[in-house]
């Protein structure tokens, strides 16, 4: 068909289609639209013994439209001083909003003779708060439920709610959790263990690298084949490094001086060497099959890449930007970590029952320490050189003494541990529990859980300010 004829055919089809009745267009929420996440704040101790059931929660737009949110639970108990919990969330359109509308289904008061039903409001409860939602933004809101004075004449339930927006906190108190399936980063207060905000990212955020000196957080957005750069003071993406189509970056490693960033590209079997000054990929290096993670030597001269499907470890010379060696691994290597001196590299894998201790200068195994099967994550406390190994099979974190080269203790947890981070100030350990969609904080002295918070679907990695 000649070019001019193609044009006439297209125009004819266009005008013909315009003559037919057009179907009603319904707005469909997509993963790229903005999101509102609603958290219920902890109840105050000594609250009234009120139990209420929420029927529905809607967002109020300034034009009167109401957008429903999806509830994660619907029962509020006034006498249970629990932790902060994720109550609801949903995709919303950008624009101005005036608050929430909550419809109460039922309410009860616990007395000496059991629960008594209360009269509930006929109309939904309005909670006013003016705020704007920008395009592809994550807005976190915080709902408080006040039970004092919520009952009139002993029979009528008059709920008292208040709503607050996200508030900035000291940067030194901040931690981050990547939520792969929801395309956002949870921002939390590591002291109070409460979510304080959220940051929208590209698709599939996974591994992260924090540069506190430059105030940057790097995030591997696997679904976009890119690395998003977040300003830790502004809580927003300020730049993006675009990789190759089909790379699927899943992990990042940052040199100690912050100048070199390594992206582990799982689908293309490569690693990208990125200069953080120019924000450009300066070299691309072929490694083993399905690389899962990388760790950079404290000197910044070499990096070690864990290739999970080829059962090998690739050594990359960062001065020459080339792979210089490869060594086999008994099983599927997942993560590695260096001790403080940098003369021992610890590696764990899913199908290997041992923690391998490698001499990085000679690239040979010098010790093997039994830790059990299904080991996914590893972290070294650089102050004590204790090694923490997250075991998904036993749902525990094994504690290894690198000096004694043996298993010395364990920390039992409720879920299957994934990525971990140590806080330098409080001597605490943060552990992501993906199946439970929570982040747990553990005291390293008592080996007990201190607190936990709700994060998002596909919770993957955690980093905190002050990480050793």
Residue 444 has pLDDT above 90, yes or no: yes
Regarding whether 220 and 311 lie in a shared domain, the answer is: yes
pLDDT in the model for residue 182:
96
pLDDT tens readout for residues 143-182: 998 877 677 667 888 888 999 999 999 999 999 999 999 9
Mean pLDDT along residues 434-453? 95
Burial of 24 (0-12, 13-18, 19+ CB in 10 A): exposed
Regarding whether 217 and 141 lie in a shared domain, the answer is: no
Q: Is residue 429 part of a domain?
A: no
pLDDT in the model for residue 79:
62
Q: Is residue 265 part of a domain?
A: yes
Residue 10 has pLDDT above 60, yes or no: no
Regarding whether 242 and 158 lie in a shared domain, the answer is: no
pLDDT in the model for residue 26:
27
Task: With CA atoms as reference, report the closest residue to 415 among 399, 400, 431.
Answer: 431
| Mean of all residue pLDDT scores within the chain | 89
Q: Is residue 353 part of a domain?
A: no
pLDDT in the model for residue 28:
33
Lowest-confidence pick of 19-23, 157-161, 226-230, 384-388: 19-23
Query: SS3 sequence, the chain?
Result: CCHHHHHHHHHHHHHHHHHCCCCCCCCCCCCCCEEEEEEECCCCCCCCCEEEEEEEEEEEECCCCEEECEECCCEEECCCCCCCEEEEEEEECCEEEEEEEEEEEEEEEEECCEEEECECCCCCEEEEEEEEECCCCEEEEEEEEECCCCEECCCEECCEEEEEECCCCCHHHEEEEEECCCCEEEEEECCCCEEEEEEECCCCEEEEEEECCCCEEEEEEHHHCEEEEEECCCCEEEEEEECCCCCCEEEEEECCCCCEEEEEECCCCEEEEEECCCCEEEEEEECCCCEEEEEECCCCCEEEEEECCCCEEEEEECCCCEEEEEEECCCCEEEEEECCCCCCEEEEECCCCEEEEEECCCCEEEEEEECCCCEEEEEEECCCCEEEEEECCCCEEEEEECCCCEEEEEEECCCCCCCEEEECCCCEEEEEEHHHCEEEEEECCCCEEEEEEECCCCEEEEEECCEC
pLDDT tens readout for residues 357-371: 999 999 999 999 998
Which residue, of 298, 323, 348, is where some domain finishes?
323
- Phi/psi at 63 (nearest 5 deg)? -95, 5
Q: Is residue 430 part of a domain?
A: no
Q: Is residue 185 part of a domain?
A: no
Higher pLDDT, 79 or 114: 114
Pairing of strands 95-111, 125-133: antiparallel
pLDDT tens readout for residues 304-359: 999 999 999 999 999 999 999 999 998 899 999 999 899 999 999 988 889 999 99
Regarding whether 245 and 159 lie in a shared domain, the answer is: no
Cβ atoms of 437 and 189 within 8 Å: the answer is no
Regarding whether 100 and 222 lie in a shared domain, the answer is: no
Counting the structural domains of the chain, the total is: 2
What is the chain's Cα-based Rg?
A: 26
Q: Is residue 194 part of a domain?
A: no
CATH number for 255 = 2.130.10.10
Residues with Cβ within 8 Å of residue 194, at least 6 apart in sequence: 39, 41, 84, 188, 453
Regarding whether 260 and 161 lie in a shared domain, the answer is: no
Regarding whether 302 and 245 lie in a shared domain, the answer is: yes
Residue 416 has pLDDT above 60, yes or no: yes
Q: Which band of pLDDT confidence, cut at 50, 70 and 90, is reported for residue 7?
A: very low
Lowest-confidence pick of 104-108, 113-117, 214-218, 259-263: 113-117
Residues in the chain: 468
Residue 442 has pLDDT above 50, yes or no: yes
Regarding whether 140 and 40 lie in a shared domain, the answer is: yes
Regarding whether 158 and 43 lie in a shared domain, the answer is: yes
pLDDT tens readout for residues 25-41: 223 333 447 999 999 99
Q: Is residue 463 part of a domain?
A: no
Q: Is residue 388 part of a domain?
A: no
Cβ atoms of 348 and 370 within 8 Å: the answer is no
Which residue, of 286, 305, 323, is where some domain finishes?
323
pLDDT in the model for residue 20:
31
Regarding whether 309 and 215 lie in a shared domain, the answer is: yes
pLDDT tens readout for residues 197-226: 999 999 999 999 999 999 999 999 999 999
Which residue, of 323, 339, 361, is where some domain finishes?
323
Lowest-confidence pick of 6-10, 46-50, 325-329: 6-10
Task: With CA atoms as reference, report the closest residue to 153 among 118, 102, 113, 112.
Answer: 118
Lowest-confidence pick of 95-109, 271-285, 372-386: 372-386
CB-facing half-sphere around the CA of 94: CA atoms within 13 A: 6
Regarding whether 318 and 258 lie in a shared domain, the answer is: yes
pLDDT in the model for residue 149:
63
pLDDT in the model for residue 46:
58
pLDDT in the model for residue 21:
31
Regarding whether 135 and 216 lie in a shared domain, the answer is: no
pLDDT in the model for residue 404:
82
pLDDT in the model for residue 47:
62
pLDDT in the model for residue 80:
63
- Domain extent at residue 70: 34-165
């Amino acid at each position: 068909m000649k070019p001019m004829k193609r044009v006439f055919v297209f125009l004819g089809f266009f005008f013909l289609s315009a003559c037919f009745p057009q179907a009603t267009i319904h707005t469909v929420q997509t993963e790229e639209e903005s999101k509102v996440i609603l958290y219920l704040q902890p109840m105050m101790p000594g609250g009234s013994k009120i139990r209420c059931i929420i029927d529905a929660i809607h967002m109020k737009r300034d034009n009167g439209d109401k957008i429903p949110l999806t509830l994660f639970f619907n029962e509020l108990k006034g006498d249970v001083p629990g932790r902060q919990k994720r109550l609801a969330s949903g995709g919303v359109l950008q624009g101005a909003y005036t608050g929430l509308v909550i419809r109460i289904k039922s309410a009860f008061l616990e007395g000496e003779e059991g629960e008594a039903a209360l009269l509930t409001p006929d109309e939904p409860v309005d909670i006013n708060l003016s705020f704007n939602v920008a395009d592809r933004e994550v807005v976190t809101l915080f709902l408080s439920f006040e039970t004092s004075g919520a009952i009139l004449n002993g029979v009528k339930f008059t709920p008292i709610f208040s709503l607050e927006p996200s508030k900035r906190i000291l940067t030194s108190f901040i931690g981050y959790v990547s939520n792969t399936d929801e395309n956002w980063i949870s921002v939390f207060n590591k002291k109070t263990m409460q979510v304080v905000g959220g940051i929208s990212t590209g698709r599939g955020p996974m591994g992260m690298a924090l540069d506190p000196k430059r105030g940057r957080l790097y995030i591997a957005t696997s679904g976009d084949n890119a690395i998003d750069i977040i300003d830790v003071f502004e809580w927003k993406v300020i730049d993006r490094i675009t990789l190759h189509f089909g790379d699927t970056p899943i992990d990042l490693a940052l040199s100690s001086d912050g100048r070199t960033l390594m992206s582990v590209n799982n689908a293309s079997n490569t690693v990208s060497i990125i200069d953080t000054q120019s924000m450009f990929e300066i070299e691309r290096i072929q490694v083993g099959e399905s690389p899962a993670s990388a760790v950079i030597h404290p000197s910044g001269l070499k990096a070690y890449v864990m290739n999970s499907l080829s059962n090998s470890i690739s050594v990359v010379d960062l001065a020459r930007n080339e792979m210089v060696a490869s060594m086999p691994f008994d099983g599927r290597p997942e993560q590695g970590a260096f001790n403080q001196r940098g003369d021992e590299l610890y590696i764990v894998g899913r199908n290997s029952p041992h923690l391998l201790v490698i001499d990085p200068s000679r690239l040979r195994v010098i010790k093997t320490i039994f830790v059990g099967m299904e080991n996914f994550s590893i972290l070294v406390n650089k102050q004590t050189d204790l090694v923490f190994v997250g075991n998904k099979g036993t749902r525990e974190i094994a504690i290894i003494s690198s000096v004694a080269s043996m298993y010395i203790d364990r920390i039992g947890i409720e879920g299957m541990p994934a990525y971990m981070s140590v806080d330098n100030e409080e001597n605490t350990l943060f552990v992501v529990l993906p199946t439970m969609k929570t982040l747990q904080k553990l005291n390293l002295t008592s080996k007990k859980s201190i607190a936990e918070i709700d994060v998002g679907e596909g919770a993957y990695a955690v980093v905190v300010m002050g990480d050793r």
